[in-house]
Amino acid sequence: MHRKATATSYSLSITELLLTFLLLSSAAVASAFTLTMGLLKVGTPQPWPVSKKNLNYVREAGVRQFISTYNRVKDFQGDELMWGDEVEYGVFILEKVDGVKKVKLSLRAKEIMDTLNENEQLLSGEEGCNWVPEYGAWMVEATPSRPYTGYANDLLRVERNMRLRRKRILAILKENEIAPTVSVFPLLGALGEEGSVPPVPVGGPITESEYIGDGIINPHPRFGALSANIRQRRGEKVNIRVPLFHDTNTPEFDNYADMAPGSCCGNDSMLLWRFGKGDVSREKYGNGFVIVGCSNTASGDFNDLDGPITLEKWLVNVECEGCKGLFYRSSPPYDGVPAVIVPDADWPRNGEIVVGAEIPNVPGWIRLQNGYYLPMYSDDGEINFLHRVSTETHAKNQQQQQLGSETPSFRQSVPAIEMSDLVLKHALENAVNTSLGACSNKTSVADSPNVRPAIHMDAMAFGMGCCCLQITFQATDVDESRFLYDQLAVMAPIMMALTASTPVLKGRLADTDCRWGIISECVDDRTPAERGRDDNATPDPEVAGKGRRRLYKSRYDSISTYLYQGLTAEDSHMKNRIINTYNDIPVPIDEDKYRDLREAGIDPLLSQHIAHIFVRDPLVIFDGAVEEVDDETQTEHFESIQSTNWQSVRWKPPPPRNGPNDPHIGWRTEFRSMEIQLTDFENAAFTTFITLLTRVILTFDLNLYIPLSRVDANMQRAHARDAARRGKFFFRRHLAPLEEGDDGFGEQYVSMFSRAVNGMGTGGLPTIQSESNFHRLDTNASHESVQEYNEDGVSVKRRMAPTASGGAESNSYEEMTMAEIMTGKKDYFPGLIPLVYAYLDHIQCDSVTMDRMSKYLDFIEKRATGELVTPATWIRNFIRNHEDYKFDSKVSDSIAYDLLVACKEIGEGTRAAPELLGDNIIKPILASDAYQKRLDSKRVNNAEILSLLERYSTRKTFAETH
């Protein structure tokens, strides 16, 4: 029996709380919020040695809780669009003594937050804000108090509410405090104990940092426990190393005589920082350097950058009577744990070619390019399974896409004569080799242009102290939430590059523009063995995978598997299939959890997703909340792991309802990659753009799928300096099925969008005429395509999207510039911005909303084309043009002071920044406008009346001034 929990951890996102408020009266909002936030104060986190003894139980219970929740809510249908954004602020103190400028962290975020929440209860009107704590003791997060709805005019609420939040935080800051919306405090870790008010000694038992003190962490015990447990599970401090910007006088580059300032990759390529894969460079060169690559070279991640890699082609032929092929394995055998078959995938048949590399420490096994594993021969070595061949390309196996998991496990064996011919033919071809590319890897730092000086950081605060912009959407049902998860995962690196705002770290200019990799490395709790390093440590049975399962990413990273199951036909050979065309990267899973989920009736892709996030351990366990939690009615253990898998998108099941009056909350998808912008105009522009894009994808049945290996490549490229203007990103060529063609070997493929581009349209898109749908962000099908929809209203096109149906051209992708992605390319790719305009026309958007959306879209287009710069470029230029800058990549106190003041002024509308905003003018934001004023009728005495009238006695009349 399970007892009801007496304590709980803070695991729900604030946007989930927003949805809770939807059905509450305005008077009830404040009390609901106070109660919810009170959960942060209940319970004591267990120290890591104690917590370890409960890890296995929490992981097991977490899966039970998910299964119970899923079965309870899987049939939810018809939920309306509700959504919300999250904006984070840092609070800083300006000091100027005897002309010397200093800027420091203000560690009174809790006091500020408490005051703001009290004011919300007392002074707020219909439009309000919620204020919640963040990781840093100088940080506050804010959201609207009630979610935005599915009506077009709610798009106008976004900027209004963001401006309201800025007004309200300004209203309670001290005279020397500022709260600009910047991604990071530029001097974090560079000032020692004098970097904050009050001062905080460097180091401490939580972080053991050389640069920051434990006292800058939010005082709530959960945040300190997160930091300490990540360090202890990892076995050492986190290690963050970001490439340093090479300026004219940067001292760290003095030994790089032949390298001009800038990138070793040249003008046609971007320098790539492969975050999370830096163990090799640290082992060779120490904390002061990091290995980089270039975006115009092929590079694999098979060996974690510890040398050139050879990918080879292998011919599948299981040499036994009646044998037809092989099942994939999700991991090779390790530490006596056998490899586990993945029966739900499209396994390779005899005669197929697979691409992979031998695993050095597991003889007889190869890791495939699609993330799965195969044995080269049987356990006794008597039967060969794989035959090494060399070939540059091979034909796509169309039959593979017609067969599913419940096809017999082996196909007819290839005759010996045909096999010999195949091997001979392939043996005449060249092997596929991938290497680090243009920046060669050498052992001497000075002779190795791919080994760059790095900015070193060693604590969670360097990453979790970054501010960002996030959005959560409620979907109509579970399938739509999963489909949006996949589509938004593709958009995550694109939007991160377009919103880049993090070019300075620890008082130095970085050769990157985004925060994501910093956070990824700051919470990387993987053991050396999990990171793929030689490790003689004894397996630890208390932690997940005994601490030795190979994990290819930090727990803060891009996704590793798509989630939408797609077509589920009744035939048994199709209903359980997983397509690997797009899921082409490693997906480590907990085999036991996967088996439990499948036995509970969870479909293969969702089972894989849950089993994948459960390869991680819970990071914070509270006393009194282990076996006491009821697995049938609570989700605390599931959320303790789900909420600390910080991926570029997050899929969220409905939370439990603890009482009959609790509001209904549906299936949600959270978009997490965007960087914070300096103004509310920018933040609102990108928030509404992503919201509209989700409607475009659903309404027009668009398909953004590309292989996840290319999404990961985009994530690396998005970090590059000025990636939005200079970079190229992999993107799908055809967002809708091609209208004609025969797999590219005869008739030319034609995109349906080419008709519009070439003036052959059919009169425009159909519009929604019913009054009930007027001006809604609607996703209903037009009358012309109703016959293509199933009884649940989901189109056949959408169901087929993840199965990569059609030929190679239908599923092709290419490198596109940001301008091409946003505005279009030739006649086959319409561009995302024109599609959003088409959607707004489709719903007959009202003129006021349309006018504002047009300003947003025009702004985004100008940034995508390079006419306007990103905040990262603006900040970098500000620093390099400052009178105190020595072109040494160092950001001094005076530069940081002036930078943050400038960012404050831009955000508050008192400083123009046309290179950032174009001709968009930010109306000044005044703290005096923070709260609504009542039309009061309280009596005023005569003296006050006379004083008030006296102010206007000499004012000119309207006629005199016009």
pLDDT digits (tens, 9 = 90+) for 347-386: 888 998 888 888 877 889 998 877 788 999 998 888 999 9
Residue type, 533: R
> What is the rounded CA–CA span in Å between residue 539 and residue 8?
30
570 burial type by CB count under 10 A (0-12 exposed, 13-18 middle, 19+ buried): exposed
Lowest model confidence (mean pLDDT) among 39-53, 175-189, 240-254, 901-915: 39-53
- Higher-confidence residue of 222 and 934: namely 222
pLDDT at 740: 62
Mind giving me the DSSP string for 766-780?
A: -----GGGTTB---P
pLDDT at 790: 64
Asked if residue 271 lies in contact with residue 436, where contact means CB atoms within 8 angstroms, the answer is no
> What is the rounded CA–CA span in Å between residue 752 and residue 784?
15
CA distances (Å), origin 360, targets 253, 534, 592, 826: 35, 11, 26, 46
- Higher-confidence residue of 389 and 853: namely 853
pLDDT tens by residue, 308-356: 456 788 999 998 888 889 988 888 887 777 888 887 888 888 998 888 8
Handedness of CA 223, 225, 226, 231 (dihedral sign): positive
- Higher-confidence residue of 919 and 406: namely 919
Q: Which two tokens stand for residue 588?
A: 């480590």
Residue 552 has pLDDT above 80, yes or no: yes
Bridge partners (DSSP) of residue 139 are 90
Token pair 């992981």 in the structure block, residue? 59
Q: Which two tokens stand for residue 831?
A: 């561009």
* Confidence at 928, pLDDT banded by 50, 70, 90: very high
For the chain, how many residues are written? 962
Q: Which two tokens stand for residue 27?
A: 């008077």
Bridge partners (DSSP) of residue 312 are 356
pLDDT at 442: 43
pLDDT at 24: 34
* Confidence at 297, pLDDT banded by 50, 70, 90: low
DSSP state for residue 720 in the 8-state scheme: B
b/e burial code for range 492-516 (CB count within 10 A of at least 16 → b): bbbbbbbbbbbbbbbbbbbbbbbbb
* Confidence at 620, pLDDT banded by 50, 70, 90: very high
Q: Which residues contact 174 (CB under 8 A, 6 or more apart)?
A: 93, 106
Helix H or strand E segment including 557:
strand 556-557
Q: In angstroms, how far apart are the furthest CA atoms of the chain?
A: 111
> What is the rounded CA–CA span in Å between residue 955 and residue 962?
14
Query: Mean pLDDT, to the nearest integer, of 168-173?
Result: 97
Residue 245 has pLDDT above 80, yes or no: yes
- Higher-confidence residue of 156 and 796: namely 156
Residue 909 has pLDDT above 90, yes or no: yes
Q: Which pTM was predicted?
A: 0.88
> What is the rounded CA–CA span in Å between residue 274 and residue 297?
13
* Confidence at 953, pLDDT banded by 50, 70, 90: confident
CA distances (Å), origin 620, targets 193, 295, 639, 734, 953: 28, 38, 11, 44, 65
Write down the H helix ranges in 588-674.
Answer: 591-599, 604-613, 636-642
Q: Where do the DSSP E strands lie in 98-192? A: 100-106, 129-133, 139-144, 177-178
DSSP state for residue 585 in the 8-state scheme: S
